[in-house]
């Protein structure tokens, strides 16, 4: 019940296209849903995050869509660029043991071809 399921495992998109990565969760106690971006040889870095009281959050070319009833959320990258090529992790935050514990999805390796 603490899992976050992420798909697809890998994604190839042409430059200028839309990249879509999906995540699903079971535990309705999750109250914070961040996306992290990781470049090769680097640590993950927070990209964008959303709380369950809103259905969408947009920051530049990156948008999170959140469907509370379906317990699903997704990351959309508009006008994808080669520089967006990275591994993307969705996560969910669960308040347990006195702190917010991040549960990560398995990751999606995105390649944007020129």
Partner 1 sequence: DAGVIQSPRHEVTEMGQEVTLRCKPISGHNSLFWYRQTMMRGLELLIYFNNNVPIDDSGMPEDRFSAKMPNASFSTLKIQPSEPRDSAVYFCASSQDRAQETQYFGPGTRLLVL
10-14 and 4-7: which strand pairing? unpaired
Among the listed residues 11, 20, 48, 106, the single contact to partner 1 using CB under 8 A: 106
Q: Nearest 5°: phi and psi at 84?
A: -85, -10
The answer to the question of residue 104 lying near partner 1 (CB under 8 A) is: yes
- The mark string for 51-90 relative to partner 1 (x by CB under 8 A, - otherwise) is --------------------------------------x-
2: left (phi over 0), alpha (psi -120 to 50) or beta: alpha
Query: How many angstroms separate the CA atoms of 53 and 23, rounded?
Result: 17
The answer to the question of residue 35 lying near partner 1 (CB under 8 A) is: no
Query: Rule CB under 8 A: which residues touch partner 1?
Result: 32, 34, 36, 41-46, 49, 89, 93, 97-102, 104-107
């Amino acid at each position: 019940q603490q899992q976050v399921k992420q798909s697809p495992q890998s994604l190839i998109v042409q430059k200028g296209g839309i990249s879509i990565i999906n995540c699903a969760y079971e535990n309705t106690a999750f109250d914070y849903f961040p996306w992290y971006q990781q470049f090769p040889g680097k640590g993950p870095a927070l990209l964008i995050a959303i709380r369950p009281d809103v259905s969408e959050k947009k920051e530049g070319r990156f948008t999170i869509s959140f469907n509370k009833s379906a317990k699903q959320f997704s990351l959309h990258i508009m006008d994808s660029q080669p520089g967006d090529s990275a591994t993307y992790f969705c996560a969910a935050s669960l308040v347990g043991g006195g702190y917010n514990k991040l549960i990560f999805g398995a990751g999606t390796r995105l390649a944007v071809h020129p």
